[in-house]
Structures are given as C-alpha cells and as structure tokens.
Amino acid sequence: MGEQIEFPKNFNMYMAQVMSCLREGNVEKAVIQMKKAYAIKDAESLNILLVSSLLQMGHYQEALELANEKNYFYESDEKRLLIYVEVLIENNQILQAEKYIKDSLSSSAIKHKDSWSRLEEKLDQSKRQQEENKRKAEEKTVKELYSLASLNTLEQFSKIEDIYTLPNDKLEKVAPHVFVNPYVHPLVRATLFSLLAERGIDRQYNYLWFEETEEINPGDTTSIEDNPTVKELMNVMNDKLMQNPSLYQIVKNEIDTLFLMLYPFEEKVIKRDGVEEWVNSVIQAIEPDFLTEEKIDDKKRKNISRWIKKIHSELLRFE
C-alpha cells in the first residue's frame, strides 16, 4: 500500500489530542501527536511546543534540529531565545550558547536577567564537565599507549588512532616509551613519530629501527604526508601504472608499507636518485613481465631485494 496522506483538517484533531495528553501529563504521547500535526503544518507555535517537550524528555539532538529550522523565530524573542540557548547547552554547542548569553547579558534591553544568569551558570557547569571528560579521555589514551606492547597488532592499530586528540605535552611524555619498545609495531611507532613531526616537536628521541637504536628529532624531519620521498615514489608509480588500476593498487599498498617501515630513516635506504629503481623492483616482484624492457643495476637490485626481505621479515614478527 502507498504512504498515508494526511489531510489539513487532521491538524486540529492532532492538536486536540496534544492538549489532552498534556493535561494528563503524558508528554511522550503528546509529542507523538505533535509530530503528526507538524508534518501537516510546521507552525512556529507548534515548533516551540515540540522543542520544549523534547527538551523536557531529554531528546536534545532532535530538539536542536527542530529549533534550527526556525532559528530566526527564536532569535526574535528573548523568551524563545532562552529556550533555544538551553537546547544549545544540552547539545554541547558551547561557543554558540556562550555568544548568545554574553550578548544578552550585556544588552540594555534585557528583560529576563535572572534566567540568563541561570543559563550562564549552567553553561559554566557544562564547560567544566567537558573539560573533565576530556581530561579523563586523555588519561585513558595515555594509559593505553603505555600498554601497546601487550596488545595484538590490530589492537595496536586501533589504539594509535586516538593520539590525534592528545596535546603535545602528553605525546612527548609517552613517545620515548613507544619509540624504543620492540613489541610495538613499527607502523604504530611511525604513526606517532609522523604526528610529532607534523606538530614540529623539537626534541631528540631514541628510536628503535630494525633492531638498532637511532637518534632523531621530529622537528628536523617531515610528516609522512609531507615527506618528499613518498611523494616522489607516488609520482613515479602514477606515471608507470596509471593505465593499470588493478596493478596500481597492489603496488601502492606494497610501496606504502615499505615506506612506512623505513620511516623516519627512509633516506638511509631509498636515495633520491634511486626512487624509480625501488618502484620498478616492487612492480617486477609483483608482475615480473610488466617492465621487461627496464633493467636495474644488479648491485642495486640485490640491495633493494635485501631490504624488502628485511622489511617483510620484520612484519612477520607481528603476525
């Protein structure tokens, strides 16, 4: 059967049911009838009644979506604006709510100062709660980063995604532990180091790289995204495989992995004038007949092959 069509005359019927439910104190049932009436006619008076009822029920996001439909209506009256700002606070729209409150309290035309002061206090409480929640979340993330070595590879990859929410001081605190732990996956270490480089952290760290401990400063390097070597690798690969999308994706996955395993010391292995040879070696390893006309110096080919085997061997430790 097709969708039921509501007739305009049903609006009054639904509103009568709304009033009856509200008199009985059944707000939840009243909201159901309000929504039916609102679907027929999105009247401003019904909008504010529905928003207020949803606010009372704790359905804050739905209340905000409806209020935003009539934003101008709420802004044009101080009492209605009070309701709108309360909805904003309940949805953690702190900056927007704060602006309305400050503007209203500084206005000479304010009529409901006590109500605005109450909302200001509620906003301050919400901000404190947000800060507390943020602090607890950061503490949880730092604790999990210290425990990375006890997790399997997939769990480590999942936990490292949370580092982007941490401030620099907490990243700097946990980095020395992560960088030298042999049981932390190299790709996880690389992800953390790249973020420190992106943020310009100027500090010397010990970094475990293929069973050797090296010293390196993130501030002297680039993030993975901005790294010139990876950009050149991608450029060469694009030129060679742009007409072969299926092979392109396989080769890209392999080159991405090889680079990340070498980062942040990739320049020790992939010389700027040897980028094409690396790409060719990977392509030939995956599809031997693809580049038969392109020859690689035997010594360089063996060196690249040795490093690829070394990288794969290191990856096997974490399977």
pLDDT digits (tens, 9 = 90+) for 244-270: 899 999 999 999 999 999 999 999 999
| pLDDT class of 22 with cuts at 50, 70, 90 | very high
Asked whether residue 134 is assigned to any structural domain, the reply reads no
> What is d(CA 206, CA 177) in angstroms, rounded to the nearest whole number?
9
pLDDT per residue as tens digits for the range 288-316: 877 656 677 788 889 999 999 999 999 99
Q: Is the pLDDT of residue 12 over 50?
A: yes
State the Cα torsion 61-64-65-68 to the nearest 10°: -160
Specify the pLDDT at position 294.
Answer: 64
The number of angstroms, rounded, from the C-alpha of 213 to the middle of its chain's C-alpha atoms is: 32
Asked whether residue 7 is assigned to any structural domain, the reply reads no
Asked whether residue 141 is assigned to any structural domain, the reply reads no
Helices marked H in the chain: 10-23, 27-40, 44-57, 60-69, 71-75, 78-90, 94-105, 113-146, 153-160, 168-179, 186-198, 228-241, 245-262, 275-286, 298-316
Q: Is the pLDDT of residue 157 over 90?
A: yes
User: CA separation (Å) from 191 to 156, 159, 179, 218, 279?
Assistant: 11, 11, 10, 12, 23
Specify the pLDDT at position 300.
Answer: 85
| pLDDT class of 195 with cuts at 50, 70, 90 | very high
159 and 175, same structural domain?
yes
Query: Number of folded domains in the chain?
Result: 3
46 and 94, same structural domain?
yes
| Residue 236, domain extent | 228-316
| pLDDT class of 176 with cuts at 50, 70, 90 | very high
Question: Which of residues 173, 197, 220 is at a domain's end?
Answer: 220
152 and 115, same structural domain?
no
Exposed/middle/buried for 233, CB within 10 Å: 0-12, 13-18, 19+?
Answer: buried
Work out the percent of the chain whose per-residue pLDDT is above 90: 81
CATH number at residue 75: 1.25.40
Q: Is the pLDDT of residue 116 over 80?
A: yes
Please report where in the chains the tokens 């680079």 appear, as a residue: 259
Specify the pLDDT at position 1.
Answer: 42
Asked whether residue 9 is assigned to any structural domain, the reply reads no
| pLDDT class of 83 with cuts at 50, 70, 90 | very high
Asked whether residue 11 is assigned to any structural domain, the reply reads no
Q: Is the pLDDT of residue 281 over 80?
A: yes
Please state, rounded to an integer, the average pLDDT across all residues of the chain: 92
123 and 47, same structural domain?
yes
Q: What count of Cα atoms within 13 Å lies in the side-chain half-sphere of residue 4?
A: 7
> What is d(CA 123, CA 146) in angstroms, rounded to the nearest whole number?
35
Average pLDDT over residues 39-61: 93
Question: Which of residues 129, 159, 179 is at a domain's end?
Answer: 129
Average pLDDT over residues 117-146: 95
Specify the pLDDT at position 10.
Answer: 86
155 and 110, same structural domain?
no
Q: What is the pTM of this model?
A: 0.78
> What is d(CA 161, CA 88) in angstroms, rounded to the nearest whole number?
29
Looking at 137-151, 179-193, 274-288, 292-306, which range is the least confident one? 292-306
Question: Which of residues 199, 220, 241 is at a domain's end?
Answer: 220
Specify the pLDDT at position 2.
Answer: 46
Q: How many residues does the chain have?
A: 319
Looking at 7-11, 17-21, 183-187, 256-260, which range is the least confident one? 7-11
